[in-house]
Amino acid sequence: MARNIKVEELLQTPIEKQRIELVERKGIGHPDSISDGLAEAVSRALCREYISKCGTVLHHNTDETQIVAGRSSPEFGGGEVLQPIYMLLVGRATKEFEGVELATESVALQAARNYLRKTMVNMDLERDVIMDCKLGTGSSDLREVFKRDRVPVANDTSFGVGHAPFSELENIVYNTERQLLTDLKSRMPAIGEDMKVMGLRDGEDITLTICSGMIGRYVDDLDSYINMTQEMKTYVKELATRYTERDVNVYINTGDNLKTSCIFLTVTGTSAEMGDDGSVGRGNRCNGLITPNRPMSMEATSGKNPINHIGKIYNLLSTQMARDIVKQVPEVQDVYIRLLSQIAKPIDQPLVASAQIIPKEGTSFEKVKSEAEVVIDDWLSNVTKITEMVIRGELNTF
Amino acid sequence: MARNIKVEELLQTPIEKQRIELVERKGIGHPDSISDGLAEAVSRALCREYISKCGTVLHHNTDETQIVAGRSSPEFGGGEVLQPIYMLLVGRATKEFEGVELATESVALQAARNYLRKTMVNMDLERDVIMDCKLGTGSSDLREVFKRDRVPVANDTSFGVGHAPFSELENIVYNTERQLLTDLKSRMPAIGEDMKVMGLRDGEDITLTICSGMIGRYVDDLDSYINMTQEMKTYVKELATRYTERDVNVYINTGDNLKTSCIFLTVTGTSAEMGDDGSVGRGNRCNGLITPNRPMSMEATSGKNPINHIGKIYNLLSTQMARDIVKQVPEVQDVYIRLLSQIAKPIDQPLVASAQIIPKEGTSFEKVKSEAEVVIDDWLSNVTKITEMVIRGELNTF
Amino acid sequence: MARNIKVEELLQTPIEKQRIELVERKGIGHPDSISDGLAEAVSRALCREYISKCGTVLHHNTDETQIVAGRSSPEFGGGEVLQPIYMLLVGRATKEFEGVELATESVALQAARNYLRKTMVNMDLERDVIMDCKLGTGSSDLREVFKRDRVPVANDTSFGVGHAPFSELENIVYNTERQLLTDLKSRMPAIGEDMKVMGLRDGEDITLTICSGMIGRYVDDLDSYINMTQEMKTYVKELATRYTERDVNVYINTGDNLKTSCIFLTVTGTSAEMGDDGSVGRGNRCNGLITPNRPMSMEATSGKNPINHIGKIYNLLSTQMARDIVKQVPEVQDVYIRLLSQIAKPIDQPLVASAQIIPKEGTSFEKVKSEAEVVIDDWLSNVTKITEMVIRGELNTF
Amino acid sequence: MARNIKVEELLQTPIEKQRIELVERKGIGHPDSISDGLAEAVSRALCREYISKCGTVLHHNTDETQIVAGRSSPEFGGGEVLQPIYMLLVGRATKEFEGVELATESVALQAARNYLRKTMVNMDLERDVIMDCKLGTGSSDLREVFKRDRVPVANDTSFGVGHAPFSELENIVYNTERQLLTDLKSRMPAIGEDMKVMGLRDGEDITLTICSGMIGRYVDDLDSYINMTQEMKTYVKELATRYTERDVNVYINTGDNLKTSCIFLTVTGTSAEMGDDGSVGRGNRCNGLITPNRPMSMEATSGKNPINHIGKIYNLLSTQMARDIVKQVPEVQDVYIRLLSQIAKPIDQPLVASAQIIPKEGTSFEKVKSEAEVVIDDWLSNVTKITEMVIRGELNTF
């Protein structure tokens, strides 16, 4: 059956020429990102468990982790968590399959604790965290879907969106968090994983406002703290020059009051230790960013099953399609993808697959159109490739 | 101090002329909407309690309700919930103020139960729901903010967005849910509050896919069910003609399989009774819609305190600004507002207040620009009006 | 098969002649008693549900309710609960039987809330209590037991004990709580259900120390409070004369400090509102008392299934046996029953049924012995009568 | 002030001459014992934390741990926990003292996890257990008690009981569990910590019914299982000869059905993994036994603060007194101690300290009486020694 692919030319000021652009990224230790990470880690662990025990992935969705903040008393050189952070893994999973009982909650618990240990290296899992778990059983009709030997049908009427390429600001914001938490952190362990990078471009001026929860045990005193944030600032300004020739201003922890030593210090690297709750799906979209200048989907990508949960698959797929179109069709300036499913229809047959393209100046939209259609159609023909990439851990979800 | 207001002309295909448009609204009984509603009901109750006991609103944020789905066995003419829905109210609140201890958790619990009783009229609060509550205490420095006798400072670096006017499709999607659950439900009580209206406009063709959890006790049998969905379909098509002259197709519960009687029947009116979890901030934006063709913010609006939580205030404010600009400046075709705060700066002084305007054909952008600036500046001068409107319950948050 | 019934003469100072006797009763609003009451109410509701839906009682045990105290600010004329009391219903139940799914958690929740509403009349269920529920599924082999059409086999190796008759002090302590909370409370609503009556008999002097959580809304001021406790004291002294000719001293709320107005005032009638947690099985034995001068069992009686849970059945049965022996064999001064089961053996065939008897002075033990054996054997032959009495609500468990 | 010490002669058949005697001990891995152990471990850790941070023990009671059983699939050679055991630490603690905030919940969590790791060596804390924690704050008036520089006053009207010496059966039951879980387990790791030893003495015949949750990973097959239980049986019979010359019969896991291989196998060593919930205070008394032939107290000893919680102190103290009397007054055959407090009175001044003594045949009660009084008075004069011994971990509580 021919697919309903609609490629249209979008008449619009390209992003780099719009006056105001906003881009945000929450670091992997932000309470919302921790929720996303736990949800996805649990789903991946369940996928592996299902394949190992049943030969196939069974129905599950674990996209509702809730983090309830603790209480802490951070200090230079140390500090301690007073009240543990409460993390509730929520979702549903198939607990029995053809007579085999599955250790879904135990697998979830272990996966979550492992993820946390790996990601939040200064969190003491023995005393800083209570990990709780409430997984219901999936409804039986949904479970049916997973047994069929053909393209799965959509679990919902829902849409995903994606765009490419990244703007300068998008690249800067994304890589600022990534580089601070990998490259710079390797020699400055005080940088907390709970980071928020807010980018504003006003014409040719870029302002980065960074909020970073420094880890007390690696900070001797206020001078040391000030020196570190200065070094971070220098590092980020230098980093930005790889992506732009615009002016870049960097502010770090502007909420600090140095006079009263009221600064953003943590024990564990995340503000979940002292007042900030977190949820799945409220932070970064699956491309790693929050971009009000771009179409976005409200669907959480993390924690959903990668077989038929269209809220996950179409977000990841849209992003892959957009990136491939830009790569394979050089005349494309900007492309926006929207995929809309209808419940109970095969996921390779969206109700509509829409691409909005801004061609580069002086190029023919018609040529671009047909090439883009091919990319879209190819991806839909191979939609289950997304599933495989998710299970292998090749796609980020936040 | 002059405000950083930037009004630019946006060159863009207006929404009604774009080929593909997607709009979604989750009904008030969708698990995500219930979460939003509970979160906001709790915040409003706390505001009233604080004012009554302390003369002023104190620090709180209750924007993290988590719903863990139950299990049910719906039937024509009845059915029952087998395992109650678990609802966890999460957040923080000031529990003591100048020697007065405040009944924050009890107030939250009561407000949540009252909200549910009023909203989900077929839910039996004695056996269908477990309402739990974990409210931490606010961090002391944040509490400081609330005592100051001047414009509050932003609690975070964050942005809000808004747009106006609604497109045809936006009006149709929004009012379909509203009218089905008020007007038609008054004579067809079987309509469940858990509804999802997904609108697709492909050129001149509008497709509405509606998912509605019918309430078993008011449905005698399959024939009755079919008749009701037919009547809903007719009602919606008729309703749509108030907003558009385009062709409108309506699909209701397309996931149903009438042969196997596998239909969307519920006991309580929400799928939270059988497998669908819910969270705050993952459903409708504060204008009541999810609109991937429009700028959106990821910030949850429900449950945050209306004093200094910029994620709430700037989303509500942007929407009010956009609507007022359209009302007061007739030459405006479409307007998009983005407000960006910087942590610890007064909330009437955003880092940037950006308006992108598409003027109507043949009108002067310059005139529009200055008039829009006035509207924006006026609102910022009176920013605390948003706070008051929230407390009085005059602004919806989802 | 002949039963292993062993009746022996006990040479012992009879209770009334021992120098020191201690007897305690916790009122029905004591946190431990509330736990017992909830556990038993849930079990009875499940029994009725199982009989109604499946024709027979299925496996369940709900004997582990945990109460986590709240926080309150009681006041003369009112007061309020600041943080709700958290009540967690714990246990296991059969959730599916021959294809029928059972609403075990919903039934439990409703039964618990109904019990509380009826018992704790000043508790506001909308804001003073969080009722949570975690019921696992029973292990399959245990479930087998319930299908068999013969005397059930014991679920455990366990014992129950009972004695009769009540001593003077036992009668006084038991009836003090009962009469205060029914008769006197009907005209003095301030009396809280959370009461503790501690009786000490030292030779011919009886001292009753009563702790009673008065309900603020019915107490105008300190004078009113003092008058009420005086009236209670007079009432109890008068009541005691029905059971004894010994001297009786009564102390009420001796922990009060009238100078600092630090008195035992509550909002709801139970100290669970302000710091006292509660558990099943830690309060009164199934005869309503705690009696260190008498044999006792540690087995919780409340909440266990009345079919094969020997910890429940043998405690209730021992008490019935003892009471019947005293009634039918007038020569018995004191009788102590101990019934010991062995796991997987029929419950009408205890490993040993032991009676220790102190005959009245001048009577023949041999005659007593054979009559007692008959009573014991009769009861064992009709052991399932206990089950029926429990389901009909004819036996108290605490 | 002279103390109210009452020593009376008890006329009673000594325990060894009574026809029927019952004694029970729950092993340290029984769900009730795990609850006791966690509660006490948390209290001790809080004592140490308070002393280290504040110089003195502050108010706390953590005597309400609730264990909700998980689900497991034990197998020869392995098996796994399917659903983790949920453990809820409940109680109250002082969280702030003279400006210092205390990490009570974090300390509790860590202590509980450490205790479990040490005690249940086959439990995988990463996937088999969810450790949750709800600690309220103590009521302020109670906190007052802890600051006073003199003998603390009783927190409640309550009593403790103790007896000595152990009967033959008491010694056998106690040491059977102890030796199986230390000596034999060191070479037979399959023995699970969840053990129940039920002793019945019927005249000169002793029957031990032992229930022991064998650990699957150390048991190859059914033959291996049978061999092990045989070896345990032989071991116990041999052990018993150290304490008695009576006939001893031993039954191990009599609930097993070898034909259907329905045996008592576990993954972790405790039945909490598959259906058995647990609570504090429902298992062994503080002397390690459950003894219906002896006076008992219902007060939980584990988890209560050792400063003024009379339910803990008087149980421990009574037992120490009884043991010392037996040691120091050789003419004593059996001694029973009962200590009764009155709320708000100094704990070294019980309302009554009662000793019931059965002197050895041919000895003078009067001599015994005065010597016993001295022992009792000495202990009351040094009552805080119990506190110190608890904190140093020198007294068992279950």
Measured distance between the N- and C-terminal CA atoms of chain A, rounded to whole angstroms = 34
Sequence-distant (6+) residues with CB within 8 A of C227 are: none
Please report the pLDDT score of residue D259 as a whole number: 85
ipTM given for this complex: 0.94
Across chain A, mean pLDDT equals: 94
The pLDDT > 90 percentage for chain D reads: 89
The pLDDT > 70 percentage for chain B reads: 97
- The average pLDDT across C260-272 equals 92
Distance CA D232, CA D239 (A): 10
- Is D169's pLDDT higher than 60? yes
- Is D144's pLDDT higher than 70? no
- The average pLDDT across C227-242 equals 98
- Specify the long-range contacts of residues B111-117, CB closer than 8 Å, at least 24 apart: B111/B41, B111/B42, B111/B44, B111/B45, B111/B46, B112/B38, B112/B41, B112/B42, B112/B87, B113/C126, B113/C127, B114/B41, B114/C126, B115/B37, B115/B38, B115/B41, B116/B34, B116/B38, B116/B87
Residues listed for chain D: 398
Interface contact B88-A66, CB threshold 8 A: yes
Could you tell me if residue B50 is inside a domain? no
- Is B368's pLDDT higher than 60? yes
Across chain B, mean pLDDT equals: 94
Taking only the tens place, the pLDDT of each residue in C196-207 is 999 999 999 999
| B56 annotated among ligand-binding-site residues | no
- Burial of A236-267, coded b for 16+ CB within 10 Å and e otherwise, reads beebbeebbebebebbbbebbeeeeeebbbbb
Please report the pLDDT score of residue A255 as a whole number: 87
Q: Which one has a higher pLDDT value, C331 or B262?
A: C331
- The average pLDDT across B27-43 equals 98
- The average pLDDT across B204-222 equals 97
The pLDDT > 90 percentage for chain C reads: 90
Residue A257: pLDDT band with limits 50, 70, 90: confident
By C-alpha distance, the chain D residue nearest A104 is: D82
Residue D260: pLDDT band with limits 50, 70, 90: confident
Could you tell me if residue D91 is inside a domain? no
- Is A140's pLDDT higher than 70? no
Please report the pLDDT score of residue A144 as a whole number: 59
Please report the pLDDT score of residue C286 as a whole number: 97
Domain span at residue A205 reads 16-27+168-279
Please report the pLDDT score of residue C262 as a whole number: 84
Please report the pLDDT score of residue B239 as a whole number: 98
Interface contact C68-D136, CB threshold 8 A: yes
Report the number of distinct structural domains present in chain C. 1
- Is A358's pLDDT higher than 60? yes
Could you tell me if residue C253 is inside a domain? yes
Find the CB nearest C295 among D91, D137, D292. Answer: D292
- Is A149's pLDDT higher than 70? no
Across chain D, mean pLDDT equals: 94
Among candidate residues A386, A384, A388, A397, the one with its CA nearest the CA of residue A302: A397
Q: Provide, as residue numbers in chain C, all residues whose Cβ is less than 8 Å from the Cβ of D251.
A: 342
By C-alpha distance, the chain D residue nearest C292 is: D295
Residue B163 in tokens: 């747009």
- Is D268's pLDDT higher than 70? yes
Could you tell me if residue A22 is inside a domain? yes
Taking only the tens place, the pLDDT of each residue in D300-329 is 999 999 999 999 999 999 999 999 999 999
Site from B127, B132, B137 to mutate, C interface, most C CB atoms within 10 angstroms: B127
Feature table: binding site of D for ATP: 136-141
- Cβ pair C26, C287 in contact under 8 A: no
Distance CA D185, CA D166 (A): 25
Cα angle D276, D281, D287; round to 5: 115
Chain A residues at the D interface, defined by Cβ less than 8 Å, are: 71, 73, 80-84, 86, 95, 101-107, 109-110, 113-114, 126-128, 130-133
Closest CA of chain B from A255, distance in Å: 5
The 3-class SS string of C320-379 reads: HHHHHHHHHCCCEEEEEEEEECCCCCECCCCCEEEEEEEECCCCCHHHHHHHHHHHHHHH
Q: Provide, as residue numbers in chain B, all residues whose Cβ is less than 8 Å from the Cβ of A64.
A: 66, 68, 277-279
Q: How would DSSP label each residue in A81-125?
A: EEEPEEEEEEEEE--EETTEE--HHHHHHHHHHHHHHHH-TT--T
Please report the pLDDT score of residue B255 as a whole number: 87
- Is D141's pLDDT higher than 60? no
Taking only the tens place, the pLDDT of each residue in B189-204 is 999 999 999 999 999 9
Among candidate residues B329, B350, B335, B325, the one with its CA nearest the CA of residue B295: B335
Find the CB nearest C110 among B95, B110, B126. Answer: B126
- Is B146's pLDDT higher than 80? no
- Cβ pair C107, B127 in contact under 8 A: yes
Angle, helices A31-54/A384-391, rounded to nearest 10 degrees: 100
- Is D238's pLDDT higher than 60? yes
- Is A335's pLDDT higher than 70? yes
- Is B280's pLDDT higher than 60? yes
Please report the pLDDT score of residue C260 as a whole number: 80
Could you tell me if residue B200 is inside a domain? yes
- Cβ pair A120, A193 in contact under 8 A: yes
Distance CA A37, CA A63 (A): 10
Interface contact D12-C8, CB threshold 8 A: no
Could you tell me if residue D178 is inside a domain? yes
- Is D171's pLDDT higher than 60? yes
By C-alpha distance, the chain B residue nearest C106 is: B127
- The average pLDDT across B77-100 equals 95
Interface contact A82-D105, CB threshold 8 A: yes
Residue B291: pLDDT band with limits 50, 70, 90: very high
* Strands (E) located in chain B: 5-9, 20-26, 60-61, 66-68, 71-75, 78-83, 85-93, 96-97, 100-101, 129-137, 159-164, 195-202, 205-212, 214-215, 247-252, 265-266, 278-279, 332-340, 352-359
Among candidate residues C287, A175, C340, B5, the one with its CA nearest the CA of residue D251: C340
Check residue C333 and give left, alpha or beta (phi > 0: left; psi -120 to 50: alpha).
alpha
Burial degree of B9 (CB within 10 A; 0-12, 13-18, 19+): middle
Please report the pLDDT score of residue C259 as a whole number: 84
Distance CA C53, CA C46 (A): 10
Interface contact A86-B134, CB threshold 8 A: yes
Please report the pLDDT score of residue D241 as a whole number: 97
Taking only the tens place, the pLDDT of each residue in C280-338 is 999 999 999 999 999 999 999 999 999 999 999 999 999 999 999 999 999 999 999 99
Closest CA of chain B from A238, distance in Å: 23
Residue A261: pLDDT band with limits 50, 70, 90: confident
Site from B102, B109, B115 to mutate, C interface, most C CB atoms within 10 angstroms: B109
Q: Provide, as residue numbers in chain B, all residues whose Cβ is less than 8 Å from the Cβ of C70.
A: 105
Please report the pLDDT score of residue D255 as a whole number: 87
By C-alpha distance, the chain B residue nearest C73 is: B101
Find the CB nearest A130 among D81, D104, D109. Answer: D109
HSE-up of D370 (CA within 13 Å, CB side)? 3
- Is C148's pLDDT higher than 70? no
- Cβ pair C321, C313 in contact under 8 A: no
Taking only the tens place, the pLDDT of each residue in C56-66 is 999 999 999 99
Residue B171 CA: distances (Å) to CA of A308, B23, B199, B289, C221: 30, 10, 10, 10, 60
Sequence-distant (6+) residues with CB within 8 A of A353 are: A3, A4, A5, A6, A337, A338, A339, A340, A376, A380
Please report the pLDDT score of residue D99 as a whole number: 87
* Strands (E) located in chain D: 5-9, 20-26, 60-61, 66-68, 71-75, 78-83, 85-93, 96-97, 100-101, 129-137, 159-164, 195-202, 205-212, 214-215, 247-252, 265-266, 278-279, 332-340, 352-359
Residue B149: pLDDT band with limits 50, 70, 90: low
Phi, psi of B102 (to 5 degrees): -115, 140
Closest CA of chain C from D140, distance in Å: 10
- Is C147's pLDDT higher than 80? no
- Is A92's pLDDT higher than 80? yes
Q: Provide, as residue numbers in chain C, all residues whose Cβ is less than 8 Å from the Cβ of B117.
A: none
Residues listed for chain C: 398
Find the CB nearest B131 among C80, C104, C130. Answer: C130
> Can you list the alpha helix ranges (DSSP code H) found in chain C?
31-54, 104-119, 140-145, 168-179, 185-187, 222-240, 310-328, 365-381, 384-391
Please report the pLDDT score of residue B139 as a whole number: 59
- Is C141's pLDDT higher than 90? no
Chains that touch B (3 or more CB pairs under 8 A): A, C
How does DSSP classify residue C181?
Answer: I
- CATH number of the domain that A250 lies in? 3.30.300.340
Please report the pLDDT score of residue A139 as a whole number: 59
Query: Looking at B118-132, B165-179, D42-56, D147-161, which range is the least confident one?
Result: D147-161
Could you tell me if residue C50 is inside a domain? no
Q: Provide, as residue numbers in chain A, all residues whose Cβ is less than 8 Å from the Cβ of D102.
A: 82
Residue C149 in tokens: 């059409």
Closest CA of chain B from A71, distance in Å: 8
Interface contact D106-A81, CB threshold 8 A: yes
Distance CA C192, CA C27 (A): 9
Site from D130, D131, D134 to mutate, A interface, most A CB atoms within 10 angstroms: D130
How is chain B split among helix, strand and coil, in percent rounded to 5?
35, 25, 40
Chains that touch A (3 or more CB pairs under 8 A): B, D
Interface contact A66-B69, CB threshold 8 A: no
Q: Which one has a higher pLDDT value, C12 or C166?
A: C166
Interface contact A277-B196, CB threshold 8 A: no
* Strands (E) located in A232-389: 247-252, 265-266, 278-279, 332-340, 352-359
Interface contact B104-C113, CB threshold 8 A: no
- Is A338's pLDDT higher than 90? yes
Residue D393 CA: distances (Å) to CA of B43, B208, D60, D155, D301: 47, 70, 17, 22, 14
Please report the pLDDT score of residue C126 as a whole number: 97
The pLDDT > 70 percentage for chain A reads: 97
Q: Provide, as residue numbers in chain D, all residues whose Cβ is less than 8 Å from the Cβ of A71.
A: 101
Please report the pLDDT score of residue A98 as a whole number: 87
Please report the pLDDT score of residue D340 as a whole number: 96
| B224 annotated among ligand-binding-site residues | no
Q: Provide, as residue numbers in chain C, all residues whose Cβ is less than 8 Å from the Cβ of B109.
A: 84, 126-127, 130
Sequence-distant (6+) residues with CB within 8 A of B93 are: B46, B58, B59, B60, B62, B102, B104, B108, B135, B136, B137, B138
- Is C142's pLDDT higher than 70? no
Please report the pLDDT score of residue D258 as a whole number: 85
Residue D149: pLDDT band with limits 50, 70, 90: low
- Is D349's pLDDT higher than 60? yes
Could you tell me if residue B214 is inside a domain? yes
Taking only the tens place, the pLDDT of each residue in A263-300 is 999 999 999 999 899 999 999 999 999 999 999 999 99
Find the CB nearest A84 among D82, D105, D114. Answer: D105
The amino acid that residue D81 corresponds to is V
Residue D161: pLDDT band with limits 50, 70, 90: very high
Taking only the tens place, the pLDDT of each residue in D182-205 is 999 999 999 999 999 999 999 999
- Cβ pair B297, B282 in contact under 8 A: no
Please report the pLDDT score of residue A147 as a whole number: 59
